[in-house]
Copies of this chain bind each other. A is one copy, B any other.
Amino acid sequence: MIDLDRQDALRGAIELLYFAYRGFTDLPDRILERRGLGRVHHRILYFIGSRPDVSVRGLLDLLAVSKQALNAPLRQLMEMGLVAALPAASDRRVKNLRLTPEGQRLEAELTGAQMRHLEAAFDKAGAPQEEGWRAVMAVLAAPA
C-alpha cells in the first residue's frame, strides 16, 4: 500500500495532468471552432504535418479510431483543399497523405499555438525541469 502523503501527491499529479491537458487543447479548439472543425480535424492535420505521406491506415493506428470515424473528417479536409492524397508508388492501393500549402498554414497556426504554450511553460520552469518532464512523459506515453 502506498502511504497517505504519497497518495495526496499522486492525486495532485492526476489533477495536473487533467488541467494541463485541458489548457493545452482549448486554444486550438477555439481556433477550429471558427471554421466549423473539431479536434479530430486538428489531430489529422497534425499527424499528416509531422509524418508526410502517411497512409490512411497509418493515421488510423496513430489516432486509434475506426475508419468510419476518420473517413468523414478526412474527406472534409480534402474537400476543403487542406489535405491532398496521392497513390503510393510502391502500392497503388495506399494513399500518401500530405498537407496542401493552405493546409500547412492552418496546421502551423494550430500547432504553433500549442508550441508557444509549451515553450512558455518550459521557459518558465527551466531546462532541467523540461528534461524531467520529458523523461516522465516518455514513460507514461509508452504502451502499457
**A-to-B contact residues, CB < 8 Å:** 2, 6-7, 10-24, 27, 43, 46, 50, 64, 111, 114-115, 117-122, 124-126, 128-144
Separation of A128 and B131 alpha carbons in the complex (Å): 10
Most chain B beta-carbon neighbours within 10 Å: one of A43, A117, A135, A140 = A140
- Residues of chain B within 8 A (CB-CB) of A120 are 139
- State the Cβ distance, A26 to closest chain B Cβ, in Å: 8
- SS class of chain A's interface: helix, strand, loop or mixed? helix
Cβ contact within 8 Å between A10 and B135? no
Separation of A6 and B119 alpha carbons in the complex (Å): 9
- State the Cβ distance, A116 to closest chain B Cβ, in Å: 8
